[in-house]
Amino acid sequence: MAHAAPARRTRGSSGSMDVFGERTHRTAEWAVPVVLGLVYGYWAAANRRAGGPITGWNLLFGFVTTIAFIALWMAIRRLTPFMRREMHALVWAAFAGSAFGFLYSQTGASIMRSLGWSLLIGAVCFVVMFYRYYTHEDAAGHRIS
């Protein structure tokens, strides 16, 4: 029985598999935080109004939350590549835990409950991100291609 020969793979300038072109990567660099920010802002505003009517203040709250989320996301994306894997994972964990805790606090839950859940989410995120960076970097912190 015949088998197909493996296709030749091309590698990008960084040495990794590059499925999309440079233009797609540049677009995604802006589109991902904007889309996630809009979803996050809508979610926060919906949690805050608790099924009530949509008001101007609720819309303003959603857009301010969106802008803050996008700004934090982009700042973290710019700064974390220069950090060691422990700090890199810690920053993303703090961001994820804080983002979840803020959303959860908008539902009217107690501060202690919001804090507990955000710490749990942050801890899980830290473990996952540390494992990812640990398995994709050498001991000096350079990415493995």
pLDDT at 37: 96
CB-count exposure of residue 66 (10 Å: 0-12, 13-18, 19+): buried
Domain ranges of the chain: 22-82, 84-145
> Per-residue b/e over 107-128, b at no fewer than 16 CB within 10 Å?
eeeeeeebeebbeebbeebbee
pLDDT at 139: 67
pLDDT at 9: 53
Digit-coded pLDDT (tens) for 84-139: 888 999 999 999 999 999 999 999 889 999 999 999 999 999 999 999 988 887 76
pLDDT at 1: 62
DSSP H stretches of helix in 50-141: 56-79, 85-105, 111-136
* Least confident range of 9-13, 26-30, 127-131, 137-141: 9-13
Q: Give dist(CA 102, CA 124) in Å, integer.
A: 17
> Any idea which residue has 């857009």 for tokens?
63
